[in-house]
Amino acid sequence: MHDVAKLIDEKLLDEAAHWLARMHASDFSASEQAALEQWCTQSAAHAQVWRCAQHIKHQLQEVPSTVGMAVLNRPASVTNRRHLLRNTALTLVAVPVLGWLTSQALPWQAWSADYRTAKGQRRTVVLADGSRITLNTASAISTSMRNDARLIDHYEGEILVETAHNAVYQHLPFIVQTRDGQMQALGTKFIVRQHEQGTTLSVLKGAVRAAPAHLEQSTTVHIRQQLRFTGHALGVATALDTHAGAWAQGVLYAENMRLEDFLRELGRYRNGVLHCTPEVAGLQVSGVYQLSDTDRILQLLEQTLPVRLQMRTRYWVSVVKA
Amino acid sequence: MPSPHNCDAGQSVGHIYTLHHGWLVAWLQRKLGNRDDAADIAQDTFTRLCASTRIQSIEQAKEPRAYLTIVAKRLMFNHLERRSLEQAYIASLQHLPEETTLSTEQRAILLETLVELDALLNALPAPVRTAFLMSQLDGMSYEAIAAQMQLSVRTVGRYMAQGFRQCLRVMMDA
């Protein structure tokens, strides 16, 4: 007898939950509304469950959104860490800081995604918290929204990060991780570029804390500063390269740049080999170039500098003395 | 130190109390790092014991320690949850728009409402809870939630049903 009552209850809860979810959907129809009203009056039990639901909804309405989000959606502090508490003192509940990610066990709730761009491609992704990440040419990241952090694993290339102010996720540190170390956003807008050796962090807004993977030290890079570091060396922050974020607008800036360096930069955006002979390597290049058409940029070089292009194929270009 | 004389099974509980109160407080204090909280929770544990119909079987059990530890642990986690909730609450009040000033009474009512809602929602997996709150507190559409959380609208709908079901379940069981 008891079991039968239980079974009905479960079915009732399923149905009530279904209706509650439906009634907030944008495509909830008038006929569904009618069916719901009929459902509520089917029995005293139906009516009672529905009253409960109304009570819950009423309580939710009493709570200011910012307060409710901060309190009810706070990261699980205790229950998740029960296993840790079993044998240890409570200090473990203290808020973790930069550098803990390596020691933290994998989260029980995490969702992640992978993004990649081909050479010459650029794309912007918006994360669950509203933060935007723009991937430059030939870049790869994976993102995970975890209970303890918003984590970007940056595998290669260059990314522009603009973190969002979102009450739900505000308490979670925003971290970009490269093979050289971790960077924690203290502000809103920065660029991370991985070189063959080392990582360059350029801060456009706010500040970012950088911690090399194999050092105990960390340093804060402030607005309009950049820092190149490796897993073993922190380096010193210098003034931000004025055009650091230009690529995000699809533009390559050159200001008295050596042709050799310019071609190396351009090479990031097109497939194949691109190089110049030593006698023209030191020529100076200045200008603003549209990255969407790298062939056109090479033609422009021919028009403005005493050089010509030797193209064995589209993928093998030498810039030589004219 | 208060002692639980005022319950039916007074004798038995008194006996258990004498034997076990000391180590329980010490154990809790080690976990919590605070003697007052430890004493409160130990007291609460014995009060629960009074209310428990299983008092006889506990007294006869070979290991009353195991039972006491389980009860005390549960109370301790409730205590810590409550504290983390209160901390989050106090911090969140600072983010309210300046024109919203709450009276002391309004604050207390709001806190109680939050405690009740927290009990309903706290067993939900984090993404389900986030989606649920985005809809119910922020009034976001399922489509907007789906876009922001990188989920399908269908999944958001499923999360919502799961959220409501959990709330109803806890309420009906209470």
pLDDT at A95: 30
Which domains can be identified in chain B, with CATH numbers?
A: 10-88 (no CATH), 106-173 (1.10.10.10)
CB contact (8 A) between residue A127 and residue B150: yes
Are A36 and A116 in a shared domain? Answer: no
CB contact (8 A) between residue A71 and residue B85: yes
- Whether the pLDDT of residue A96 is over 60: the answer is no
Tell me which of A62, A78, A108 is where a domain ends.
A62
pLDDT in tens, A2-53: 455 555 588 899 999 999 999 999 999 999 999 999 999 898 889 888 988 9
pLDDT at B56: 57
- Whether the pLDDT of residue A305 is over 50: the answer is yes
Are A168 and A108 in a shared domain? Answer: yes
Per-residue CA distances from A197 to A131, A140, A184, A193, B135 (Å): 28, 17, 20, 11, 46
Out of A26, A57, A111, name the one closest to residue B127 (CB): A111
- Domain with residue A209: its CATH number is 2.60.120.1440
Are A169 and A276 in a shared domain? Answer: no
Please give the residue of chain A at the shortest CA–CA distance from B162.
A17
Question: What share of chain A in percent tops pLDDT 90?
Answer: 34
Are A112 and A183 in a shared domain? Answer: yes
Whole-angstrom Cα distance, residue B163 to residue A12? 15
Q: Is residue A185 part of a domain?
A: yes
Q: Is residue A93 part of a domain?
A: no
Nearest Cα of chain A lies from the Cα of B155 at a distance, in angstroms, of: 11
CB contact (8 A) between residue A24 and residue B31: no
Out of A21, A25, A67, name the one closest to residue B96 (CB): A67
Contact A163, A153 (CB under 8 A): no
Tell me, yes or no, if B1 comes closer than 8 A to chain A by beta carbon. no
Tell me which of A219, A239, A259 is where a domain ends.
A239
pLDDT at B51: 65
Q: Is residue A220 part of a domain?
A: yes
* Residue A318 C-beta-side C-alpha neighbours within 13 Å: 8
Q: Is residue A315 part of a domain?
A: yes
Q: Is residue A79 part of a domain?
A: no
Q: Among A197-206, A271-280, B88-97, name the one with the lowest average pLDDT.
A: B88-97
Are A187 and A286 in a shared domain? Answer: no
Mean pLDDT value across residues A107-132: 70
- Residues of chain B where predicted confidence (pLDDT) is lower than 70: 1-13, 51-63, 95, 97-100, 174
Are A229 and A105 in a shared domain? Answer: yes
Which residues 115-154 of A are in CB contact (within 8 Å) with B?
Answer: 126-130, 145, 147
Are A115 and A225 in a shared domain? Answer: yes
CB contact (8 A) between residue A13 and residue B147: no
pLDDT at A209: 92
pLDDT at A88: 33
Helix, strand, coil % over all residues of chain B, rounded to 5: 75, 0, 25
A-chain residues within 8 Å CB-CB of B96? 64, 66-67
Q: Is residue A284 part of a domain?
A: yes
Q: Among A39-48, A160-169, A301-310, name the one with the lowest average pLDDT.
A: A160-169
What is the DSSP code string of B4-49?
--SSTTHHHHHHHHHHHHHHHHHHHHHHHS-HHHHHHHHHHHHHHH
Q: Is residue A94 part of a domain?
A: no
**Number of domains into which chain A is organized:** 3
Are A107 and A195 in a shared domain? Answer: yes
Q: Among A96-100, A167-171, A232-236, A283-287, name the one with the lowest average pLDDT.
A: A96-100
B-chain residues within 8 Å CB-CB of A17? 161-162, 164-165, 168
- Domain with residue A307: its CATH number is 3.55.50.30
Nearest Cα of chain A lies from the Cα of B36 at a distance, in angstroms, of: 15
The model's confidence at residue A242, banded by pLDDT at 50, 70 and 90, is confident
Q: What is the dihedral of CA B75, B79, B85, B87, to 10 degrees?
A: -170
Mean pLDDT value across residues A73-95: 42
Out of A17, A72, A91, name the one closest to residue B168 (CB): A17
Please give the residue of chain A at the shortest CA–CA distance from B133.
A69
pLDDT at B129: 93
Range of the domain at A276: 250-321
Are A160 and A276 in a shared domain? Answer: no
CB contact (8 A) between residue B133 and residue A73: yes
